[in-house]
Chain A
């Protein structure tokens, strides 16, 4: 039993039925009665708290089903019970199929049966209402979290980029002196920056519904190389070959996350001061899928670590600025893209990633 009284509206053209209903239920429920659909509507308009509506089917002017249809728009939430004789069964079936009626009860009604139905209807009302409230709450939390992540990402990253600007300027102004401390600051900043980016990518990948964008791999990869090449000193030879005749449609954000992380790894995990470093990127796009191969001659990944590199927070090396979530995000993003990734790697010789992303173009 609910703590407070259930609010029930009963609509029937026969005054005797109204009186009987009121007599039977007035102690337990807050009862509203109306002698016609029009009158019922008026009561609904004036009392927003009505949770259950019981109406007779056979009424002059407006039938019970017609009454329900007429109020559906303005009063969608009260749960509906129809009272009817067997003769009206077609109208009832049609109304139930349209999803407007919770239950029907044959006349003359039995008090016990009707009471049970009203209580059940109230339970449905109450549950739907709770769900509605929870949904609204969830929506609000989601919106707030999105706004929070958006501004946090900016407020965390903007000062970091200012620091990088300062170190850059300091290097330009003191080109003759040893900039070892400044290099250390830059490395630390880059590490923090990668981590911030990964957190945001993780968050967005786990929640974003995914948009469909047209993707130009050449543009995307050139941008990515341009962005990450400054994270590492030394001369790396970037070889980019893109063979794309077909229009490629996929989730632009996730494709970018996958490629950026693999490329930034290929750049990060190069050997120290060895000549001939390269990152070789090959893309072949057709109407079905994009096949991307990213090959480097960096430090490589040992066989024992290979099964674990896509796990969260796994780090195969203490080298450089790994956060341990980059490849985990790659894998998660590819799951959402229905894509696939494989690697071949030999410790000390380099790593090759093969990525497959389906084309969502019709």
Chain B
């Protein structure tokens, strides 16, 4: 990961309880205080679009839910692929989902922009290990 700045996480999930929980877990486990949450994936796309030129405002890690109304996780990944290469290279995407659907899981794993598929609830120790924290 190109971490020229402290870990900044964008969390995209339509469920506000999960947004709250993940944010708390990340803070308590001291992974980061810098969490920007979106319950609507489209808004997250717009945010990245608007700030594509200013890395200080971009997250360097995205936690992305799969099943969401409107734009779902896969739709988001399609939009993400259209961003400038330097934005794509700057941001690591982890899927964070409760799905056990075999198709969804393999589809998420096969996506070139997805580093790893994580299961809910977020396992902070495993995430720390992955990020070498």
Residues of A whose CB lies within 8 Å of any CB of B are 150, 153-154, 157-158, 160-162, 164-166, 168-169, 172-173, 197, 200, 204, 213, 226-227, 230, 252-253, 256
Contact = CB atoms under 8 A, between A and B. Distances in A.
B127 interface: no
Nearest to A260: B100
B128 to A, nearest CB: 13
Interface string B82-125: 00000000000000001111100010000000000001111100
B67 interface: yes
A154 B25 contact: no
Contacts of B22: 165
A204 B21 CA distance: 31
B33 interface: no
Interface residues of B, number: 22
B130 to A, nearest CB: 12
Contacts of A172: 25, 28-29
Contacts of A154: 67, 98-99, 101
A204 B102 contact: yes
Contacts of A230: 123
B17 interface: yes
Nearest to B14: A158
Nearest to B119: A227
B24 interface: yes
Contact of B98 (A158, A213, A252): A158
A204 B102 CA distance: 10
Contact of B120 (A161, A197, A213): A161
B121 A162 contact: yes
B56 to A, nearest CB: 30
B28 A165 contact: no
